[in-house]
A and B are shown apart, each in its own frame.
Chain A
Amino acid sequence: MRLINLSPSRPLAVFLAAVPFVAVLIAYAAGSEIRLAANPADKLLPALSTIQETAVRLFTEGDRRSGEILLWKDTWASLSRLLGGVAISASLSLVIGMVVGLLPMFRSLLSGFVAVLSMVPPLALLPILFIVFGLGETSKVVLIVIGITPFMTRDLAQRVLDIPHEQLVKAQTLGASSWVIAARVALPQVLPRLIANVRLTLGSAWLFLIAAEAVAAEVGLGYRIFLVRRYLAMDVILTYVIWITLLAFVLDWLLKQLSRKAFPWMEAGL
């Protein structure tokens, strides 16, 4: 049988999916074991048990001075920046993308501009943002917005352009105005794409957030990681990395569920 026709049974699929995770864990545990055997004070690869203890401590015990649990504070700060930035980007790109996709006048006006904007490396703008917006929350949110909006806008505009011309003609023969075509033909068909885009760009959004927090912040997941780096606190860094990964995974999963529930017509089909 050809390899392309060879698919795993359900139990085998679950087993195969678990293999890489287990392999990484085993490789890490072995490496950590070897290094700790050579030097019990080694900080580079803390034992899994150490990471676990650190994690429990970070999630439950308050800070010695303020009594606040820093991890939750960091999580709250980072998530509100991230979700704020992503929400603003999503709204902006939806509006601009629909306008550019539907109205030829605005396409001529904006599509070249957006294409050039999307080529600007956002991180290079970070110093400017800090100068203009200060070191507070605004500059971090703006970095996320600048970083992901042009891409989403271009993609949504393209998705609007991909709507078959027949559908737009059909809507007009039913008497639909430009507004009705936007609201009832284009919008419902690009919303699933918007959610797909948010899922795709969340990775970049995290990148921009952590970069901005690393440079200047007083609280936040990225800030904490770069702070404890000075003490080589690998157990704390690893806990934070795993936590961020988990948050990103849950956000992605939630968006996927939302897309399934909200757009049943996408799944229709024989």
Chain B
Amino acid sequence: MSFIQVRDVWQAYGGRSIIERVTLDVSEGEFVSIVGASGCGKSTFLRLLLADERPVRGTITVDGGDVAVEPGRERGVVFQRYSVFPHLTVRENIVAAEGFNTASGWLFGAAKRTSRERADAILARIGLNHVAEQYPASLSGGMQQRLAIGQALTAKPRVLLLDEPFGALDPGTRVQMHDFLTELRAETKMTVFMVSHDLEEAFKLGDRVLVFDKPRWDPQDPGLYGATITYEFDARDGGMPYQHILDRYPSLKPQAEPAPERLLEPA
């Protein structure tokens, strides 16, 4: 059974279908990019994966567990904006990823000290140790997103959801963030969903690229039908398909090499 199972999911707001009949299987550790026209329901799909909303039909399960009814530590998220807490310093934002999980919301004594040390290590890793005491508002957009990703990863989620995380960044910073994300992924091996409007980014980072679009279209009432996954691309190996098909279907392999020689042997 696959790690994430999306089964026949529909979502509608006020009778308007937004997404319909979405079925998807994702294995653990896969990076799934999601692209599609603006307003077609990509963020809605992420909210469903996050369990921030529940679908009107269908189920989403992670690792064979129960259908989640609210967001939790299993699923981390980074939004385009508002992902970090403005009233906490950069370091406190990282520490919060551990502190918020306690009954009081605060860490004390030794737990606090070790958490701060871990936070400093993470800040060094994401290149923000020099601004540990500052508030997020004084950070650049790229630094804020790095902080948001660092914070999400500190909670060690099994699935990371990214909604246009680099949408507001300039192209140079974006490339840096790609490298940063690629490195982190190599370290953590977590499953990632990323919504993006940048096709190049989607193919560069993703193992799979899903395209959301409306398969049915009513010219009288464009809001009648919802979007679903209309295309899916294998983005591994630089987008060249079937590079690993022999792993999956070993029977297609050409027979062992010595065979032709045998043919040459005199009967």
Say how far B39's CB is from chain A's closest CB, in angstroms.
Answer: 18
B135 engages A173 (CB within 8 Å): no
Identify B105's interface contact among A166, A179, A189, CB under 8 A: A179
Q: How many residues of B contact A (CB 8 A)?
A: 38
- A166-B82, A166-B83, A185-B85 known; A176-B50 Cβ under 8 A: no
Chain B CB within 8 A of A52 CB: no
- A166-B79, A169-B77, A173-B76 known; A189-B71 Cβ under 8 A: no
A174 engages B100 (CB within 8 Å): yes
B137 engages A176 (CB within 8 Å): no
Complex Cα–Cα for A172 and B73 (A): 7
B70, B75, B79, B100 — which one has the most chain A CB atoms within 10 A of its CB? B100
Say how far B229's CB is from chain A's closest CB, in angstroms.
Answer: 24
Which residues of chain A from 169 to 207 have any CB-CB distance to chain B below 8 Å in the complex?
169-177, 179-180, 183-185, 188-189
Identify B100's interface contact among A166, A171, A188, CB under 8 A: A171
The A contact surface, by secondary structure, is helix
Stretch of A65-73, A146-154, A262-270 contacting B (4+ beta carbons < 8 Å): A262-270
Identify B96's interface contact among A164, A184, A270, CB under 8 A: A184
Chain A CB within 8 A of B223 CB: no
A173 engages B138 (CB within 8 Å): no
In the bound complex, residues from chain B placing their C-beta under 8 Å from that of A172 are 70-72
In the bound complex, residues from chain A placing their C-beta under 8 Å from that of B18 are none
Complex Cα–Cα for A184 and B72 (A): 17
Chain A CB within 8 A of B62 CB: no
Chain B CB within 8 A of A91 CB: no
Chain B CB within 8 A of A80 CB: no
Say how far A191's CB is from chain B's closest CB, in angstroms.
Answer: 9
In the bound complex, residues from chain B placing their C-beta under 8 Å from that of A164 are 81-82
Which residues of chain B from 54 to 103 have any CB-CB distance to chain A below 8 Å in the complex?
70-73, 75-77, 79, 81-89, 96-97, 99-103
B85 engages A167 (CB within 8 Å): yes
In the bound complex, residues from chain A placing their C-beta under 8 Å from that of B97 are 174
Complex Cα–Cα for A59 and B72 (A): 63
In the bound complex, residues from chain B placing their C-beta under 8 Å from that of A270 are 137-138
Identify A265's interface contact among B76, B82, B137, CB under 8 A: B137
Identify B137's interface contact among A179, A185, A269, CB under 8 A: A269
Stretch of B149-157, B193-201, B202-210 contacting A (4+ beta carbons < 8 Å): B149-157
A174 engages B96 (CB within 8 Å): yes
Chain A CB within 8 A of B230 CB: no
In the bound complex, residues from chain A placing their C-beta under 8 Å from that of B83 are 166, 170
A-B contact count (CB 8 A): 87
Complex Cα–Cα for A16 and B86 (A): 37
B50 engages A173 (CB within 8 Å): yes
In the bound complex, residues from chain A placing their C-beta under 8 Å from that of B103 are 177, 179-180
> Considering only CB atoms, which chain B residue lies closest to A176 in the complex?
B100
In the bound complex, residues from chain A placing their C-beta under 8 Å from that of B135 are 264-265, 268
- A264-B135, A268-B137, A269-B138 known; A175-B82 Cβ under 8 A: no
A171, A173, A268 — which one has the most chain B CB atoms within 10 A of its CB? A173
B101 engages A175 (CB within 8 Å): yes
In the bound complex, residues from chain A placing their C-beta under 8 Å from that of B99 are 184
Complex Cα–Cα for A145 and B117 (A): 47
A173 engages B72 (CB within 8 Å): yes
A188 engages B87 (CB within 8 Å): yes
A166 engages B73 (CB within 8 Å): no
Complex Cα–Cα for A87 and B184 (A): 50
Chain A CB within 8 A of B220 CB: no
Complex Cα–Cα for A185 and B84 (A): 11
Complex Cα–Cα for A189 and B84 (A): 13
B75 engages A173 (CB within 8 Å): yes
Chain A CB within 8 A of B52 CB: yes
In the bound complex, residues from chain A placing their C-beta under 8 Å from that of B157 are 173
Chain A CB within 8 A of B134 CB: yes
Say how far A94's CB is from chain B's closest CB, in angstroms.
Answer: 16
B82 engages A180 (CB within 8 Å): no
In the bound complex, residues from chain B placing their C-beta under 8 Å from that of A173 are 50, 71-73, 75-77, 152, 155, 157
Identify the A interface with B (CB < 8 A): 164, 166-167, 169-177, 179-180, 183-185, 188-189, 263-265, 268-270
Closest 9 CB pairs of A and B: A175-B101, A180-B105, A268-B135, A172-B71, A166-B82, A164-B82, A176-B100, A268-B137, A269-B137
A-B contact pairs, 15 of them (CB 8 A): A164-B82, A166-B81, A167-B85, A170-B83, A174-B97, A174-B101, A175-B72, A175-B100, A180-B105, A184-B106, A185-B85, A189-B87, A264-B135, A268-B138, A270-B137
Identify the B interface with A (CB < 8 A): 50, 52, 70-73, 75-77, 79, 81-89, 96-97, 99-106, 134-138, 151-152, 155, 157
**Other 20 A-B pairs with CB < 8 A, given A174-B73, A177-B103, A183-B104:** A166-B81, A170-B79, A171-B85, A171-B100, A172-B72, A173-B157, A175-B73, A176-B100, A179-B103, A180-B103, A180-B104, A184-B96, A189-B86, A263-B87, A265-B86, A265-B88, A265-B137, A268-B135, A269-B137, A269-B138
